[in-house]
Amino acid sequence: MKPAVTRIVLFLEAIVKGFGILAAWTCVALVLLVAGDVFARYLFRTGAVWAQELQWHLISPIALFGMSYALFSGEQVRVDVLFDRFGPAVQRGIEILGGVLMIGFGVAMVKLSLPWVEMSYARGEGSPNPGGLPWRFALKALIPIGFALLAIQGLAHVLRQVFALPPRKHA
């Protein structure tokens, strides 16, 4: 059973890692976009509403995909001063509880955000600004995707702890 669980965990983590890499490349695109916008504004005294909107649109996948990648990488927020004082069994229990809560939170956020995305899609919602970006629903669709990834990584985290799988070598 352990080899099957290991394959499942590795598959789930590969999904999260892929989206984490996408978030990292989105950071590069954001830096280039901001630099280009600043360059255009100060040298040519011009700017575009769509470029400014795209900047904050790119922050969304960075945050939403990055949160599951942070859990995957072991960079989640934890009070290490207290955590390190507990024995291995208590630490494992805390990790399992945290993972279960992460799954529950992720699933709840997906469930709560889907109607909001559907409504935005039905309206064909776009930017209210002249020259702004269309398809705001596509940006909003990142919310349930991001929280689904968080639930997926929470599941992988719980399985890794319950079955005492070896830690990852590198994220």
pLDDT at 81 over 90: no
Q: What is the pLDDT of residues 96-153, one digit of tens each?
A: 999 999 999 999 999 999 999 999 999 999 998 888 899 899 999 999 999 999 999 9
Q: What is the pLDDT of residue 171?
A: 53
Residue extents of the structural domains in the chain? 2-162
**Closest alpha carbon to 155 in 4, 11, 34:** 11
pLDDT confidence of residue 57: 94
> Could you tell me the pTM of the whole model?
0.90
Q: Is the sign of the CA dihedral 19, 25, 31, 32 positive or negative? A: negative
**For residue 141, what are its two tokens?**
């669709």
What is residue 170's predicted lDDT score, i.e. its pLDDT?
Answer: 58
Check residue 46 and give its pLDDT: 86
Render pLDDT for 15-27 as a digit per residue (tens, 0 to 9): 999 999 999 999 9
Integer Cα distance of 13 and 71 in angstroms: 10
